[in-house]
Amino acid sequence: MRGIGDALFALLACCLTSCATDELDQDTVTTLFGTDPRVLRAAPADPSEVRRGEALFRAEGSCARCHDMRAGRYGAGRESQRVVTADGAERHRDVPALYDAARQIVWGWDGWFADPVRMGLEDAVGRCFANLERTAPPAAPLGESRDEPIQALTAYLRSLESRGRWDRFVEGDRDALTADERGGLEVFVRTGCAACHGTRLLGGRSIHPLGVAEPWPTDDDPGRLAVTGEDRDRACFEAPPLRLVAHTAPYFHDGSVDELSEAIRRMARHELGKELADAEVAAIEVFLRAVGELDPR
């Protein structure tokens, strides 16, 4: 008996080890992450318009007041800000990164602009512009007309496109990620994260209830309900891109979590009903940090 028990144990141990080092094949990688919504982008912008947009963005009291464009922040804010949301109410929201925003198809935590048929990014810029008009001092730095600055700002944001090892990996270069990073990707997919954080940006394309498996600790933000007025949209939020998540703490719509490991753990618990082992959290974190390693521009 003991012999059989040992053999079973050995078999199980072997299976566990090989499960832990399993890697996704290229077809699975392409299916889950190959799509890049970049196709929705308009023609390349005129460089002088991009420069004008950048100047507007960085002007005193303007966008950069909340969206931090200093090295390594990619436009993400360090603390949440009071902004006007779809129903006119003011709420505290985390300030998202802006690099690669042109490759998203949903913008805003509640997906206020989720209609890719319209000029989505331009709408999102317009929405934040309106926020600025409401919160900035009367001598708003952006001038009288709205259309021209919004177009220039959108052109600037479209120019903030990044590329890194993750892109080369998805395109077929296996060695662009290390074995540990590929292992972390496998845990990410096996846990179920890619269901909502798929495509090249790992999100930015869909809206989901927050707390699918277990209620979220806070419920003071109605989420997409404020956009549609429909009760089924209560506490529904955008699954944001995770491409830059290594750099953009704090996390979630209310900026309530500082550590990436804690954000990963909470997602598994509240969205998937799974308690991850420390090693699984660490593996996913290694993967996400690799995704955030971008080529110098």
For residue 214, the minimal CB distance to ligand HEC (Å) is 12
For residue 226, the minimal CB distance to ligand HEC (Å) is 9
CA–CA separation, 56 vs 150, rounded Å?
Answer: 9
Other CB atoms within 10 Å distance of the CB of residue 226: 18
| Minimum CB distance to ligand HEC smaller for 166 or for 237 | 237
CA–CA separation, 241 vs 145, rounded Å?
Answer: 32
CA–CA separation, 21 vs 69, rounded Å?
Answer: 38
**Which residue has tokens 């080890």?**
17
* 114 interacts with ligand HEC by CB under 6 A: no
* 199 interacts with ligand HEC by CB under 6 A: no
Task: Say if CB 142 and CB 149 are below 8 A apart.
Answer: yes
* 135 interacts with ligand HEC by CB under 6 A: yes
Could you say which of 24, 50, 114, 153 contacts ligand HEC (CB under 6 A)? 153
* 99 interacts with ligand HEC by CB under 6 A: no
* 205 interacts with ligand HEC by CB under 6 A: no
CA–CA separation, 52 vs 59, rounded Å?
Answer: 10
* 253 interacts with ligand HEC by CB under 6 A: yes
End-to-end CA distance of the chain: 63
* 95 interacts with ligand HEC by CB under 6 A: yes
Task: Say if CB 257 and CB 151 are below 8 A apart.
Answer: no
CA–CA separation, 99 vs 160, rounded Å?
Answer: 5
CA–CA separation, 77 vs 60, rounded Å?
Answer: 16
| Minimum CB distance to ligand HEC smaller for 173 or for 205 | 205
Return the DSSP state at 45. Answer: P
The stretch among 12-20, 37-45, 106-114, 173-181 that binds ligand HEC (CB under 6 A) is: 106-114
For residue 200, the minimal CB distance to ligand HEC (Å) is 15
* 222 interacts with ligand HEC by CB under 6 A: no
| Minimum CB distance to ligand HEC smaller for 3 or for 137 | 137
What is the x/- site pattern for ligand HEC, positions 19-48, by CB under 6 A? ------------------------------
CA–CA separation, 102 vs 40, rounded Å?
Answer: 8
**Which residue has tokens 């269901």?**
195
Size of the residue set binding ligand HEC (CB under 6 A): 51
| Minimum CB distance to ligand HEC smaller for 52 or for 93 | 93
Backbone angles phi, psi at 176, to 5 degrees: -65, -25
- 63: its two tokens: 């966008």
- 247: its two tokens: 């750099």
| Minimum CB distance to ligand HEC smaller for 7 or for 218 | 218
Could you say which of 45, 63, 102, 294 contacts ligand HEC (CB under 6 A)? 63
Q: Helix, strand, or coil here: 56?
A: helix
Interacting residue ranges for ligand HEC, rule: CB under 6 A: 62-63, 65-67, 81, 83, 85, 93, 95-96, 98, 101, 104, 107-110, 124-125, 128-129, 131-132, 135, 153, 191-193, 195-197, 208, 210, 212, 237, 239-240, 242, 245, 248, 251-253, 263-264, 267-268, 271-272, 284
